[in-house]
């Protein structure tokens, strides 16, 4: 099969590799759509938890090609989304329902072969049938799971006024989920006017291009979807007294925050960081299936596997009109 392999930081090559053999409790997936995420760029750049060489890709959907002898939940031909975080189920973290902190956690596309290939073998527990949902939408089950987990961390109340900094695919999903959870008004901030327009049209968000233009001490909750430490620091002045801050974006590995300790104390701010998801795929697939969350318009580019390096360049280049880039490993053209 053809697969994209990050051989070492900075080097990605599309090459022939053996089709994986699924074990008795595993499923072989023929991958249909596989999203490029900021995390893939971090792995490519060598500044995340990656192991090399690695087939990247942790946001994907496809068809069950074959199933091991002990698999009971799915059968060949089923359309599925894949949850990439593989937890052991028996460590203290897993037994405490904190699977994202599993002592033996492995992630497809990070330390196990991922979705930027024609096939991948995954545990049965990682696949979620998506019925007649499009593969394009199914590939959002993973980022949406992380967004659901994050949004559930900060305890929104009906009618809350929310600020989301960053209007990329994740910021837009956060807005949709927080709207579903009862937010009355979502303000989305981003320097990129294309993204702001997009958020306004798709989500009905209030758009704001400059952080300096945002009202201070106003928002019930603010979420950072940029990963920029300077932006995270700024949220402290923007939330009201007793407000909450969700740190969602992935910051650079060596970054530090500088926060005004007295202001945090005086305003009684709740600061909540969130890391991946805790088996939220069932929720994600249901919201995608019911169309309560709209994801298909977020796909700005669809590329064949052979053009993955171009896809990485699009995502890391931060060009105006790049939203979610999907690689279609089963297609020879975009």
CB of 242 to Zn ion, least distance (A): 32
Q: How many residues does the chain have?
A: 334
Among 41, 102, 126, 148, binds Zn ion (CB under 5 A): 102
What is the DSSP secondary-structure string of 18-46?
PPP---TTEEEEEEEEEEE-HHHHHHHHT
Please name the residue ranges forming H helices in the chain: 38-45, 92-95, 135-138, 141-153, 169-180, 193-203, 229-238, 261-267, 281-289, 308-317
Total residues binding Zn ion (CB under 5 A)? 7
Q: At what angle do helices 141-153 and 281-289 cross, to 10 degrees?
A: 110
Compute CA 149 distance to the chain's CA centroid, rounded to the nearest angstrom.
11
Rounded to a whole number of angstroms, the minimum distance from the CB of residue 319 to Zn ion is 19
- Contact in structure between 187 and 209 (CB atoms under 8 Å): no
Rounded to a whole number of angstroms, the minimum distance from the CB of residue 94 to Zn ion is: 3
Name the 3-class secondary structure at 123.
strand
CB of 57 to Zn ion, least distance (A): 9
Whose Cβ is closer to Zn ion: residue 31's or residue 239's? Answer: 31
Query: Which residue, 86 or 199, has its beta carbon nearer to Zn ion?
Result: 86
Closest to Zn ion by CB, 88 vs 264, is 88
Three-class secondary structure of residue 119 per DSSP: strand
68: burial class by Cβ within 10 Å (0-12, 13-18, 19+)? middle
**Closer of 114 and 304 to Zn ion (Cβ):** 114
CB of 102 to Zn ion, least distance (A): 3
Q: How far is the CB of 264 from Zn ion (least distance, A)?
A: 29
Contact with Zn ion (CB under 5 A) among 19, 63, 74, 88? 88
**Does the protein bind Zn ion through residue 139 (CB under 5 A)?**
no
CB-nearer residue toward Zn ion: 22 or 35: 35
Nearest-angstrom CA–CA distance, 88 and 91: 7
Residue closer to Zn ion (CB basis): 93 or 259: 93
| Contact set for Zn ion, span 27-46 (CB under 5 A) | 37, 39
Least distance to Zn ion from the beta carbon of 288, Å? 16
94 binds Zn ion (CB under 5 A): yes
Is residue 87 near Zn ion by the rule CB under 5 A? yes
Cis-peptide into 53, omega within 30 deg: yes
The C-alpha angle 220, 225, 226, rounded to 5 degrees, equals 125
- Can you give the binding site for Zn ion, defined by CB under 5 A? 37, 39, 87-88, 91, 94, 102
């Amino acid at each position: 099969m053809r697969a994209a392999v990050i051989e070492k930081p900075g080097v990605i090559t599309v090459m022939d590799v053996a089709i994986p053999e699924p074990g008795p409790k595993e499923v072989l997936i023929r991958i249909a759509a596989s999203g490029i995420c900021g995390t893939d760029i971090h792995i490519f750049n060598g500044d995340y938890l990656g192991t090399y060489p690695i087939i990247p890709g942790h946001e994907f959907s496809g068809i069950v090609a074959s199933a091991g002898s002990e698999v009971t939940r799915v059968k060949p031909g089923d359309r599925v989304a894949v949850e990439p975080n593989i937890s052991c189920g028996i460590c203290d973290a897993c037994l405490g329902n904190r699977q994202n902190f599993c002592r033996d956690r492995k992630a497809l596309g990070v330390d196990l072969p991922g979705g930027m290939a024609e096939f991948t073998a995954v545990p049965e527990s990682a696949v979620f049938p998506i019925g007649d949902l499009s593969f394009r939408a199914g590939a959002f089950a993973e980022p949406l799971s992380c967004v659901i987990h994050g949004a559930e961390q900060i305890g929104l109340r009906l009618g809350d006024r929310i600020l989301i900094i960053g209007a990329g695919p994740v910021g837009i999903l956060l807005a949709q989920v927080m709207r579903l959870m009862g937010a009355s008004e979502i303000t989305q901030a981003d320097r990129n006017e294309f993204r702001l327009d997009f958020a306004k049209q798709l989500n009905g968000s209030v758009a704001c291009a400059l952080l300096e233009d945002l009202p201070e001490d106003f928002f019930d909750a603010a979420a950072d979807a940029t990963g920029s430490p300077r932006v995270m620091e700024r949220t402290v002045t923007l939330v009201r007294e007793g407000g909450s801050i969700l740190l969602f974006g992935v910051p650079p590995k060596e970054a530090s925050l500088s926060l005004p300790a007295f202001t945090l104390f005086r305003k009684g701010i709740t600061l909540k960081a969130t890391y991946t998801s805790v088996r939220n795929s069932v929720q994600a697939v249901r919201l995608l299936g019911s169309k309560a969350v709209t994801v298909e318009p977020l796909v700005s580019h669809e590329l064949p596997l052979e053009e993955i390096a171009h896809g990485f360049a699009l995502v890391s280049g931060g060009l105006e009109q790049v939203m979610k880039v999907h690689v279609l490993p089963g297609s020879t053209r975009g």
